Amino acid sequence: MPVTSFFWVFILCFVSPPPPQASRQASGIPGMAPTEEKDGNLPDIVNTGSLHQFLVSLHEKYGPLASFWFGQRLVVSLGSVDLLKEHINPNRTSDPFETMLKSLLGYQSGFGGSAAEGHVRKKVYETGVNKAIQSNFAVLLELADELVTKWLSYPEAQHVPLCQHMLGFAMKSVTRAAMGSHFENDQEVIRFRKNHESIWSEIGKGFLDGSLDKSSSRKQHYEEALGEMEAALKKVARERKGQSNNHEVFMDSLLQGDLIEKQVLEDSMIFSLAGSVITANLCIWSTYFLTTSSSVQEKLYQEVTKVLGRSPLTFDKLQELRYCQQVLNETVRTAKLTPVAARLQELEGSVIHHIIPKETLVIYALGVVLQDDTSWHMPYRFDPERFNDEAARKQFTLLGFSGSQECPELRFAYTVATIMLSTLIRKLSLHPVADQLVEMKYDLVTTPKEEAWITVSKRN
């Protein structure tokens, strides 16, 4: 089971050995008793299908503040906006998503250093992402054009495999913006994609049950993919080092920043892995949700035509596409794009008068909160209008979905998706394929369970 497995590693890397003291103190919080002495509630998580689905039933039963057992460790989960508000420290700079990913890859740097070092590192990363977006804007537009041109050439009834095409588009976008012209070569992108798939499918699968360790062939496959990916990143770093490039990419910012070589490698790996998955799935879900509502498509088309006329999108015009932003925000919400985040409680704290002892693992059940009908009217409906409301925007920002400092990969994804949608909507109408039920698979990032098909037709 993907999610649970991934959490095992997370636990092993970060929070073991469990402090029994902490568990006893937090035990005033309502929640599940361990089902098995050694594994706690892990079997229950496996049985529900994903950590997100487990958390949904946990919070239904025990309310917004609930506890359960990850192995022998008591974990606290927060499942309402108010509790998250109380717990989230706006001064924190670390990104829980990045933290989890690093632990899965076994990366240590960036953790051990002082807070000031961490801050500098974070700044380099953020600035790098921003610069990469700006200086590669034309490249991203070109890639979106390429995709739309391909779809335009299809006969009207032809089914388009959305996931496959958007993954390809996202990987091209990420590799070009992160590493530059080295990835103009399609063969390089194909190799990147192959390795990416091998790594990402193991991140999460097979760690929990230790099945990756048990299967030497799978482990070898995973390690080879990781090794090839690292070698590719190192090669680009060597090539770009000391060169002056008028086309600045993410890697250049890392190389110019005061980072050690290992840090450059790890940061570019994180951005390449997470950036691709988040960008691809934001593009997949936004396009898919658009097929379900012709009125949203129409309104988006009107906005794009009004703001851009016949000119291509520019970086300066991004902010003017307000409705497009709402569409993307609503996509992140409806798809529950990153359903779970986790933090380690650094100092003793409390929520609604319950003590949360130091070193407790605190889960942010974002997926639960995003479908909570006390926070969102008709939460299962895809309705970009809800983000007209300032309160809704504030709430969403608080949860970490605004793409600001917390998650630079999300900001990158928002920009690429805006470029893609604004290009797409001017030329094409999008249609669902009848009788297709697209189910969600709640991994680290929520994806369709199976290929999502759509059809397109030319706008006249």
Ligand X SMILES: *[C@@H]1O[C@H](CO)[C@@H](O)[C@H](O)[C@H]1NC(C)=O
* CB nearer ligand X, residue 354 or residue 441: 354
Beta-sheet strand order (sheet of 73-78): 65-70, 73-78, 361-364, 341-344
**d(C-alpha 225, C-alpha 207), whole Å:** 16
What is the 8-class DSSP label of residue 36?
B
**d(C-alpha 78, C-alpha 65), whole Å:** 5
Shortest separation between residue 252's beta carbon and ligand X, angstroms: 24
Shortest separation between residue 358's beta carbon and ligand X, angstroms: 15
Number of H helices, E strands in the chain: 19, 11
* CB nearer ligand X, residue 255 or residue 424: 424
Shortest separation between residue 84's beta carbon and ligand X, angstroms: 13
**d(C-alpha 452, C-alpha 412), whole Å:** 23
**d(C-alpha 177, C-alpha 437), whole Å:** 34
Read off φ and ψ for residue 65, nearest 5 degrees. Answer: -110, 115
* CB nearer ligand X, residue 218 or residue 393: 393
Structure-block tokens of residue 251:
């890697």
CA separation (Å) from 152 to 305, 420, 423, 443? 19, 14, 12, 32
What angle (nearest 5°) sits at the alpha carbon of residue 199, between those of residues 195 and 201?
Answer: 115
* CB nearer ligand X, residue 93 or residue 201: 93
Residue 283 assigned as binding residue: no
- Answer whether the bond into residue 408 is a cis peptide, omega within 30°: no
Shortest separation between residue 73's beta carbon and ligand X, angstroms: 25
Shortest separation between residue 10's beta carbon and ligand X, angstroms: 25
**Residue 234 half-sphere exposure, CB side, CA atoms within 13 Å?**
9
**d(C-alpha 352, C-alpha 343), whole Å:** 18
* CB nearer ligand X, residue 96 or residue 204: 96
**d(C-alpha 191, C-alpha 229), whole Å:** 9
Shortest separation between residue 318's beta carbon and ligand X, angstroms: 8
Shortest separation between residue 402's beta carbon and ligand X, angstroms: 3
* CB nearer ligand X, residue 292 or residue 397: 397
Shortest separation between residue 89's beta carbon and ligand X, angstroms: 4
Shortest separation between residue 295's beta carbon and ligand X, angstroms: 20
What residue type is 75 in one-letter code? V
By the criterion CB under 6 A, which residues form the site for ligand X? 89, 91, 325, 328-329, 393, 396-397, 401-403, 414, 418
* CB nearer ligand X, residue 232 or residue 424: 424
**d(C-alpha 426, C-alpha 456), whole Å:** 12
* CB nearer ligand X, residue 129 or residue 189: 129
Q: Are 370 and 52 in contact (CB under 8 A)?
A: no
**DSSP letters along 171-235, please?**
HHHHHHHHHGGGGGSHHHHHHHHHHHHHHHHHSSSSSTTSHHHH-HHHHHHHHHHHHHHHHHHHH
**d(C-alpha 141, C-alpha 176), whole Å:** 12
* CB nearer ligand X, residue 199 or residue 421: 421
Q: Residue positions in the annotated binding site for heme?
A: 407
Q: Residue positions in the annotated binding site?
A: 407
